[in-house]
Structure formats: C-alpha cells, structure tokens
C-alpha cells in the first residue's frame, strides 16, 4: 500500500488547466503539498501551470511512476488502466464516477476494469471516491477544493469513509469549525479492489494514527475485518450505514454495496472490541475523545466493575446537573460519592448555608468568590478524590462572569491523570475561542450535554475492554456426525425436522428434551405412559418448521387415551403425510431463543435472545461471530441488556451461565464445521431450575451446498 500513501512520483490522468474542473483541483493540491514528481496527462495541453503535460500514459518517462490518479470520464478508464498496466504503474486511484453505482452498464464496466487491473497486477483504489487526504504529510490526492489548505489541521485520528462526498464534507466541517485535526482521510468509494481491510491494516501500523474511524455501507469480508479490529492495539470506531431494510436498499443504489443484518453487525463489532457509532458527528466526537486521552490508563482509577466510571459533575446550574445525572445512569456511568475530605475542601469557597453534594452546584460559590477561584478549588478537590474517575465541568463563555481559568483546570486534570470533559454554552465568538483553547489543552469540549456523556461512556468502555478482547483465534476439535445425520445435512435447501435436528444437537453435545416417534395410536399411548405425564405431542410434516401455526402442537396430554386420540387427530390433520413426536412436557421458569445463522458478510454467527412472554416485550437478541471460546460465549450473554432476568427473576433459581455458554460454543462449532448448515434455531430453550434444555429445534441447509465430510 506504500505507493498510495508515500509515492515518489504521481501521474495525474485527466489534469486540466480549467480552474473550474476537478482535474485542476487535484493538480493544485498536488502542487501545494506533494514533494515528489508530478506528471500531468492530457493531450490538450503541452503544459499546465508551468509543469510539462504528457499526451498519454504511454508517453510518460520510463523512469517509473509510483501512483496514477485518474479523473477522466468512466468510459475512458478501461483504456487508461490497460495503459497503466503496460507502463508498469502498480497503484491507480480512480476518482471518477459512473461505475457500479450507476446501474448495470456501470457494473459491467467496473468488472472489466477490475479484470484488466488483475491481469497486470495493478492495485485499484476507488472508483467514485475523493481519494486521500494526509494532513500530517501534506499529501492531498483529491479533487477536494484547494481552499481546504487554509484550515488543514493535522492530528492523530484517521478515517476510512466509503462515501466520496461525505469524506469531503467531514474534512471541511472538521477543519473550518476547528473541532479536531486529522491524520488521514481515505475515501474508498465502490471498493473495486482496495477496501476497508487493506486500509485498516495499513493504519493499524501507521505511526501517525492513534484512533481509526470508519463509515462503511458494506463489509464484504466481515470475518477478516473483525479479526483485524480484534487484533488492533488502536481503538476502532465504526458507523455502519444501510442497517435497516430501507437503508440497505439505499446503500445498494449509492455505492453498489450489500448490507447485512444490523444486529449481526453490532454483535460482530462488539465481539471484536469495536466502538459502534450511530451518526456521523457522534463517530467523530468519539474518535477525538479517545484520541485526547489515549495515553491515560483509566483502568487504574476505575473503582467498579458494574459501571464504566464514576464521575464528579461541576455545574453552574442545578437543572443541568440533574439532567446530566439522568443521562449518566442511562449510559452506564455513575455519580461518584465525594469523600469527607473533598467536602471539607469544597467548603472553603461555599457559603455556610450551602449543602454540597454531587453534582456540585457552583453558582453560590461563584457569586461569593468568582468563577476562576471556585472552579479551580473544586476541581482540585474532586480530582484528588480516589472515588472520582473523571470530572465533567459545565462552562459558560462570554457572560455571567462564569469564564473559568481553563489553563489551570487543564493542569489540574493533567497532574491527576484523569480526564476532564466540558459541556459549553455561551456567546458565539467567546464560545468558539474557549472551545479552541480548551481542546488544545487536552479538554474535549461539547455543545450538547448528551453527546458529552456519550463520549465519556465510550472512553471508559474502550479502556475497560482493553485486555479483555481475545486476540488469538479459537481452535476446537471437529464435531463428528454419523453418516445418517450427514445425509440430512447434505440435502440442499432442506428444512430438517425437529426430531432429526435434535439428534444432530445431541451428537454435538447439546442436551435436548426426552422424546420418541410414535408409529401408531397405541404406540403413542405406550410412549406417553413410559415418559410420565404430562406430555406434548407434535405433528412433523416434511419441510415444515412452523408447527404451532398449523395447529400441530398439543400440550397437557395426561392420559394414555388422550395420547392415542391425539395421535389420530394429528395424523388426520397432516393427511397421513407426517409423523408424530411424543415429548416430555417441561415446566420452565424462562424461555430463551438460541441459534446460528450464516451471515453473508460474517459467516456463521451465534445468537442468544429472550423467548416466550419476553420475546415481544424485550425484542432483544445478541450475536457473535463463530467459532466462540467459552469466554467469548459468556461475553455474548453479558451483552444482553436484560441479563438480570437470567440471574434469578422473582426468586427463581439463577440460570447456569456456564451451561448456556457451552450451548452457544457448540452451536458455533456446528456452523463452522458444516458449511452446508445455513440456520439453526433452538426455540424454546427452556430454563428449568436453572438448567437449559432444548425443547424445539430446526436446522435449515443452504441452497447451494458443498459436501460435508
């Protein structure tokens, strides 16, 4: 990838002297910052802005060109790539549009360009993108307006952005508002060749990058992407577009990309230690926050496993303090319990009548001592408190005599090695000046209260998870199935019935309920008697998994005669085409749904969620990429927001978490060992006296199968 990020010579194919064209903007940006040799290519000009211009790629010097930037109409690109290949140019950045995002003809053209590039061993970046902006090295390989140089601020956050225009909008917004600096912005467009995995791998080893943020509309190689994130020592923040059905369609029309199920993606990212964002500015705010405090080890200060961190709030408004507390509880943060020493120190600036608690309402002390003394005194006190992990200050700039000594506050926070966050309101110009100054001093400033605390929670979550994400691949012994069970799995597009599905689960080490097939009404009565009442009887129709909807499930059968009668009833309802299953009826305390689904982007993924009466109420399920270690399976269960229900709901016995984790591990093994299995559902997995047991199950095979052995 070095010829994209550190070329010594660049050919600009589509350079122009017309200052209103993108080809001129790219040339102007190259002249401004690039230190290597520039070769403009356009048959219309002998020179552009004093630089010799070449008629074609073939006319370029034989001394070698590291990178070609292509900005010509799409219909000309195929010939350009052919010429670059023949010239020995190994990296081409295509910034032109009109490819897969434009429809069938564009898809065909994109495929032809890809094929030609592979023939010559040429790596392609783009098309339909804005290229690369490297603020640290002053390399702007993009048609973004040259006016960007007036505000270009370098930092240590790098971005990978699938949308071309969005990357330009990011840059202009960040730079002109002085919100943060950036290291690199990589706009990758249609990802004809170079994709997020290539760039992520490069940035993980880039000395100028501390935090990596990505906006993606598709992750075609989800498993590789998750593996890279999992192994990365640098924090990764991801905003995934096209999550909803409507959003997925929009993503396809925008950059010809596919989108997977949102819950699967969230689970895979969480498993890999990725911080997930939900809008563009939030992604940037989280990135800059983590970057600001990347050198701190917050785990040394954290005093609780339950919450992400304990916070002291210093506010000029009681109402803002109350709202902050509400938001903190929602985000998993908590108010610190200020020590008696902290309260004694705070009393130095507060009037005698004022009771002090957290949030600390500073206004009475400000009226008495002024803002500078009050903020500094209280900040010193709370920063020294061992029960405080971070301080959240509320500031107003440009009025009410509330401007604090921000330099003194930054020094206090730095000496304490604890983060300080600022929520800022105030007069426009004064607030802008305050924000720029504070952020240069290492205090992230936010104009929205909730966003301040969102970023704080993300920071603590990032540090809390350090060392807890497994870096090594999971290995396990392959599951061995008998030939008769493999025969069912090897049938394409096969809905394997419940009885056989549970035999496969049993062979994999997953406990299922006692059951047997009945061959006659008499046999049904006999088997029910042997199992002990009550029993459940089910009609099994070939290729049909929705038995309840068809009226093929009968509960509370408590006599031999009822069992015999139920057999006849079920056989009649199935027109004699199915079989009847007799099953021990279990009275459970709780129902779960667990399973495996083969996601197009992440491959086999394991699912765990609530079933029964909680299914519609909670609508909660979590996913992880298989295979899973026992530790990863336990972490998956821990991601359930309503996990307290599993710990003993209304006096019931707590769920055996290890047993549930083992089931999830084995489901993952089935998915990874047998490519033919597309889906596994265990619904319900009944929890009886804390023990999970599979009561119903279904296995679906893929339409196109490889042979399982």
Q: Which of 27, 32, 30 is nearest to 17 (CA)?
A: 27
Phi, psi of 553 (to 5 degrees): -120, 125
d(CA 108, CA 240): 27
The confidence score (pLDDT) of residue 705 equals 55
Is 357 or 247 the better-scoring residue by pLDDT?
357
Least confident of 77-91, 255-269, 643-657: 255-269
CATH superfamily of 296-464: Succinyl-CoA synthetase domains (3.40.50.261)
d(CA 220, CA 197): 10
d(CA 252, CA 192): 14
The confidence score (pLDDT) of residue 588 equals 81
Q: Domain 514-584: which CATH class?
A: alpha beta
The confidence score (pLDDT) of residue 165 equals 64
Q: Is the pLDDT of residue 519 over 50?
A: yes
Geometric angle at alpha carbon 65, from 60 and 70, rounded to 5°? 80
The confidence score (pLDDT) of residue 328 equals 95
H helices then E strands: how many in the chain?
A: 24, 31
Geometric angle at alpha carbon 401, from 399 and 407, rounded to 5°? 100
Contact 63, 40 (CB under 8 A): no
Average pLDDT, the chain: 89
CATH superfamily of 1-128: NAD(P)-binding Rossmann-like Domain (3.40.50.720)
Q: Residue 26 to residues 13, 76, 159: CA-CA distances in angstroms?
A: 10, 18, 20
277-330 pLDDT, tens digit per residue, is 998 889 999 999 999 998 888 876 555 445 468 999 999 999 999 999 999 999
CATH number of 130-292: 3.40.50.261
Strands 123-125 and 310-315: unpaired
Q: What is the value of pTM for the model shown?
A: 0.88
Q: Is the pLDDT of residue 617 over 70?
A: no
Determine how many CB atoms are found less than 10 A away from the CB of residue 475: 7
Partners of residue 597 on adjacent β-strands = 605, 679
646-695 pLDDT, tens digit per residue, is 887 666 788 899 999 999 999 999 999 999 999 999 988 999 888 999 99
d(CA 607, CA 660): 12
The confidence score (pLDDT) of residue 689 equals 86
d(CA 157, CA 284): 9
pLDDT above 70 covers what percent of the chain? 91
Where are the chain's structural domains?
1-128, 130-292, 296-464, 473-511+587-709, 514-584
pLDDT band of residue 255 (cuts 50, 70, 90) is: very low
The confidence score (pLDDT) of residue 314 equals 97
The confidence score (pLDDT) of residue 368 equals 93
**For the residues 629-644, what does the mean pLDDT come to?**
90
The confidence score (pLDDT) of residue 649 equals 66
Is 590 or 120 the better-scoring residue by pLDDT?
120
523-557 pLDDT, tens digit per residue, is 999 999 999 999 999 999 988 877 888 889 999 99
The confidence score (pLDDT) of residue 247 equals 42
**For the residues 188-198, what does the mean pLDDT come to?**
95
Q: Would 130-292 and 473-511+587-709 be classified into the same CATH topology? A: no
Q: Is the pLDDT of residue 83 over 80?
A: yes
Contact 240, 216 (CB under 8 A): yes
The confidence score (pLDDT) of residue 605 equals 92
The confidence score (pLDDT) of residue 181 equals 85
The confidence score (pLDDT) of residue 170 equals 66
Q: Is the pLDDT of residue 250 over 60?
A: no
Q: Which of 625, 672, 700 is nearest to 219 (CA)?
A: 625
The confidence score (pLDDT) of residue 610 equals 87
What is the DSSP secondary structure assignment for residue 54, as one 8-state letter?
A: B
pLDDT band of residue 257 (cuts 50, 70, 90) is: very low
Q: Which tokens belong to 148? A: 């960007």
Q: Using DSSP, state whether 137 is helix, strand or coil.
A: coil
The confidence score (pLDDT) of residue 254 equals 26
Q: Is the pLDDT of residue 435 over 50?
A: yes
Strands 184-187 and 47-48: unpaired
Strands (E), 352-438: 360-361, 390-397, 420-426
Phi, psi of 206 (to 5 degrees): -85, 120
Is 319 or 644 the better-scoring residue by pLDDT?
319
Q: Residue for token digits 């783009």?
A: 126
d(CA 455, CA 420): 12
122-176 pLDDT, tens digit per residue, is 999 999 999 999 999 999 999 988 877 777 788 999 999 987 666 667 667 766 6
pLDDT band of residue 594 (cuts 50, 70, 90) is: very high
The confidence score (pLDDT) of residue 248 equals 42
33-44 pLDDT, tens digit per residue, is 999 999 999 999
The confidence score (pLDDT) of residue 251 equals 34
Contact 598, 706 (CB under 8 A): no
Q: Residue 620 to residues 175, 308, 571, 593, 654: CA-CA distances in angstroms?
A: 40, 22, 36, 10, 19
What is the DSSP secondary structure assignment for residue 555, as one 8-state letter?
A: E
**For the residues 504-522, what does the mean pLDDT come to?**
94
pLDDT band of residue 615 (cuts 50, 70, 90) is: low
Q: Is the pLDDT of residue 613 over 50?
A: yes
554-571 pLDDT, tens digit per residue, is 999 999 999 999 999 999
**For the residues 348-374, what does the mean pLDDT come to?**
93
572-589 pLDDT, tens digit per residue, is 999 988 899 999 998 887
Q: Residue for token digits 């459970």?
A: 588
Geometric angle at alpha carbon 285, from 284 and 286, rounded to 5°? 90
Q: Domain 473-511+587-709: which CATH class?
A: alpha beta
The confidence score (pLDDT) of residue 164 equals 61
pLDDT band of residue 463 (cuts 50, 70, 90) is: confident
d(CA 649, CA 643): 10
pLDDT band of residue 53 (cuts 50, 70, 90) is: very high
């Amino acid at each position: 990838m070095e010829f994209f990020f550190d070329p010594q010579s660049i050919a600009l194919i589509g350079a122009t002297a017309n200052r209103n064209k993108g080809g001129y903007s790219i040339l102007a940006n190259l002249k401004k910052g690039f230190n290597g040799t520039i070769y403009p290519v356009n048959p219309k000009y002998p020179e552009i802005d004093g630089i010799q211009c070449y008629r074609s790629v073939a006319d370029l010097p034989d001394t070698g060109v590291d990178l070609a930037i292509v900005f010509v109409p799409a219909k000309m690109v195929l010939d350009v790539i052919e010429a670059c290949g023949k010239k020995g140019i190994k990296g081409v950045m295509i910034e032109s549009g009109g490819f897969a995002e434009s429809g069938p003809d564009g898809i065909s053209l994109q495929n032809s360009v890809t094929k030609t590039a592979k023939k010559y061993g040429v790596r392609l970046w783009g098309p339909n993108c804005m290229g690369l902006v490297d603020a640290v090295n002053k390399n702007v390989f993009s048609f973004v307006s040259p006016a960007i140089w007036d505000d270009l601020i370098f930092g240590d956050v790098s971005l990978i952005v699938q949308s071309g225009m969005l990357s330009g909008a990011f840059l202009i917004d960040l730079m002109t508002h002085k919100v943060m600096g950036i290291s690199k912005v990589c706009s990758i467009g249609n990802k004809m060749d170079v994709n997020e995995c290539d760039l992520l791998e490069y940035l993980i080893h880039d000395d100028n990058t501390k935090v990596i943020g990505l906006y993606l509309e598709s992750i075609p190689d989800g498993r590789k992407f998750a593996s890279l994130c999992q192994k990365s020592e640098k924090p990764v923040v991801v905003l995934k577009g096209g999550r909803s059905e409507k959003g997925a369609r929009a993503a396809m029309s925008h950059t010809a990309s596919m989108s997977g199920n949102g819950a699967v993606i969230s689970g895979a990212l969480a498993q890999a230690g990725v911080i997930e964002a939900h809008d563009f500015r939030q992604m940037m705010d989280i990135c800059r926050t983590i970057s600001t405090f990347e050198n701190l080890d917050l785990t040394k200060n954290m005093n609780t496993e339950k919450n992400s961190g304990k916070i002291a709030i210093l506010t000029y408004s009681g109402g803002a303090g109350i709202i902050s507390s509400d938001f903190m509880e929602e985000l998993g943060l908590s108010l610190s319990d200020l020590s008696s020493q902290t309260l004694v120190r705070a009393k130095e600036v507060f009037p005698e009548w004022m009771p002090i608690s957290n949030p600390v309402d500073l206004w009475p002390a400000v009226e008495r001592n002024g803002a500078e003394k009050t903020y500094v005194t209280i900040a010193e006190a709370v920063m020294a408190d061992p029960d405080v992990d971070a301080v959240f200050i509320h500031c107003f700039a440009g009025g009410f005599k509330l401007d604090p000594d921000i330099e003194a506050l930054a020094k206090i926070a730095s000496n304490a090695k604890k983060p300080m966050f600022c929520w800022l309101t105030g007069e426009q110009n004064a607030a802008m000046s305050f924000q720029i100054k504070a952020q240069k001093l290492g205090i992230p400033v936010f104009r929205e209260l909730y966003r301040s605390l969102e970023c704080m929670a993300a920071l603590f979550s990032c540090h809390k998870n350090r060392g807890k994400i497994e870096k090594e691949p999971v290995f396990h012994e392959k599951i061995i199935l008998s030939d008769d069970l493999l025969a069912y799995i090897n049938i394409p597009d096969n809905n394997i019935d419940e009885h056989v599905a549970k035999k496969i689960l049993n062979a994999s080490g997953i406990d299922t309920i006692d059951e047997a097939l009945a061959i006659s009404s008499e046999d049904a009565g006999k088997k029910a008697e042997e199992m002990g009442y009550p029993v459940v009887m089910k009609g099994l129709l070939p290729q049909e998994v929705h038995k309840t909807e068809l009226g093929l499930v009968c509960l509370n059968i408590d006599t031999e005669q009822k069992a015999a009668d139920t057999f006849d009833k079920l056989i009649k309802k199935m027109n004699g085409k199915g079989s009847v299953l007799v099953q021990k009826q279990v009275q459970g305390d709780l129902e779960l749904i667990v399973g495996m689904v083969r996601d197009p982007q992440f491959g086999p993924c394991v699912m765990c969620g609530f079933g029964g009466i909680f299914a519609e109420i909670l609508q909660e399920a979590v996913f992880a990429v298989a295979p899973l270690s026992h530790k990863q399976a336990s972490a998956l269960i821990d991601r359930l927001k309503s996990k307290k229900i599993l710990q003993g709901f209304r006096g019931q016995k707590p769920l055996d978490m290890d047993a549930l984790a083992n089931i999830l591990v084995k489901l993952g093994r089935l998915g990874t060992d047998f490519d033919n299995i597309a889906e596994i559902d265990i619904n319900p997995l009944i929890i009886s006296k804390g023990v999970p047991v599979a009561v119903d199950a279904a296995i679906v095979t893929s339409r196109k199968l490889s042979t399982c052995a």
